[in-house]
Amino acid sequence: MDFSYQVLKQALNVRLEVIIAEVFIYKLGDFCNTDHIGQECILRDKISIIQNIGRFYNQQEISDVILKIGNQSYFGHRIILATGSDVFGTMLYNNRQFQSDLPEIILEETEECKKYFGIFLKFLYTGEIEINVVSAVGILCLADKYGVPSLKKVCTQYMVELTRRSLGHIKGCFSNLKASSQSQRSPFVKNALNWYSLSKAFNMKELIHQCLKTIAWNAEKLLTTSDWQHKDIDFVSDLLKSSDLVIQREYELFKALLQWLDSEERSTHFHVYAKELLPLIRFPQMQIKELILIERSDLYKDKELQLLLKKLIRKAYRFRAICPHQTDLGVSFTQDFYLPRNYLDLAVDN
């Protein structure tokens, strides 16, 4: 073990001794209470220790490891890196190839992550991160790759907040379509659309929920944009499952699905996707005239889909006939298929 490593370790130990202090009053309110004199407490000097460790970030004179990303090199300290990252801990202490006095580790990163590796590394020293909408994805990927759960958590909280804010603009104008359309152009909605797939890839449940909720409240606008045609099957499926969708009518959602299915991108999987997604349309919430239009459509004549559509529309007619008398008949329609979404057009059949 070289001298610089000993100096660093000694400095860290000095600060750690301050954290676990003894012989202090149990709590401030009992300062003069002799019953608690002599009891031990834990003192914490978090700010000071972070500031002291932060001074070592990228300092060559006491570094015992070099991290190289492309043409950029960062001077690091094994004990700090290993404490903050499980991956670095394994890499630095369980790998024989890094036993030289000043080992150099070459790390392979995507261009997106290379740009933010420095501020990611600084987080391990300071517990602070400079983040914005552009850098959030790269930083989150680095936190996940190197096993830094605390950074992953704060990134997720930041991203959730930047999708949640848009709901405040929309909820106040639920019945005002014009105002709602203006809110839909909010950059926070764009964040939700951009981050939804990423949140699923990293299984960030809170962010998944918040992104989908924001998208659902802006569905009316989304379904009329060119972006809708390029969404993948998983996104469309998740959207159609949501009861939070704010749309004109269920029939408009059905037409938007047909447009998505008719895209050239789906030509080879048209029937497979149609069989998966059509049951997610809530036919019972359509008006009778809309159901009849579907029965007269070319889609209804498709031999591969006709049986499925007949079954779905038959359920819709049955719901219409029985629903007013369901209590007397002891019948319930509690499945999502029968439940309404948030419709802007409240017109009903006579």
Domains of the chain listed by start with CATH number: 46-112+119-128 (3.30.710.10), 225-349 (1.25.40)
Which ranges of the chain would DSSP assign to H, the alpha helix? Answer: 3-19, 46-54, 78-84, 86-93, 111-114, 117-126, 136-145, 149-171, 177-183, 187-201, 205-217, 219-222, 233-241, 250-261, 270-277, 288-295, 298-301, 303-322, 326-329
pLDDT of residue 98: 54
pLDDT of residue 103: 79
Q: What is the DSSP letter of 282?
A: -
Would you call 53 exposed, middle or buried from its count of C-beta atoms within 10 A (0-12, 13-18, 19+)?
Answer: buried
Structural element, H or E, at residue 56: none
Name the pTM for this structure: 0.71
User: CA-to-CA distance for 116 and 112, rounded, in angstroms?
Assistant: 7
| Tokens standing for residue 76 | 């690091």
CA distances from 114 to 18, 188, 198 (A): 36, 25, 18
| Tokens standing for residue 22 | 């003894």
Q: For 12, how many CA atoms within 13 A lie in the half-sphere containing its CB? A: 16
| Alpha-carbon dihedral sign for residues 161, 188, 222, 153 | negative
Contacts of 345 (CB under 8 A, 6+ apart): 248, 249
| Tokens standing for residue 291 | 């159901």
pLDDT of residue 350: 57
Query: SS3 for 208?
Result: helix
pLDDT of residue 93: 82
CA distances from 101 to 1, 4, 65, 131 (A): 8, 10, 8, 34
Q: What is the DSSP string of 210-260?
A: HHHHHHHHTHHHHTTSGGGGG--HHHHHHHHH-S--EES-HHHHHHHHHHH
Query: Taking each helix axis from N to C terminus, what angle separates 149-171 and 205-217, rounded to the nearest 10 degrees?
Result: 20
Residue carrying the six token digits 């998208």: 215
Q: What is the DSSP letter of 340?
A: -
- Asked if 313 and 279 count as a contact pair (C-beta separation under 8 A), the reply is no
User: CA-to-CA distance for 246 and 281, rounded, in angstroms?
Assistant: 14
Q: What is the pLDDT of residues 98-153, one digit of tens each?
A: 554 457 888 999 988 999 999 999 999 998 999 999 999 999 999 999 999 999 99
Interior CA angle at 171 toward 168 and 172, to 5°? Answer: 90
Amino acid in position 162: L
Rounded mean pLDDT for each run of 10 residues along the chain, 350 residues in total: 45 40 34 57 69 82 88 91 90 66 81 93 92 92 94 92 64 43 59 90 89 92 90 95 95 97 90 97 96 96 96 96 86 92 81
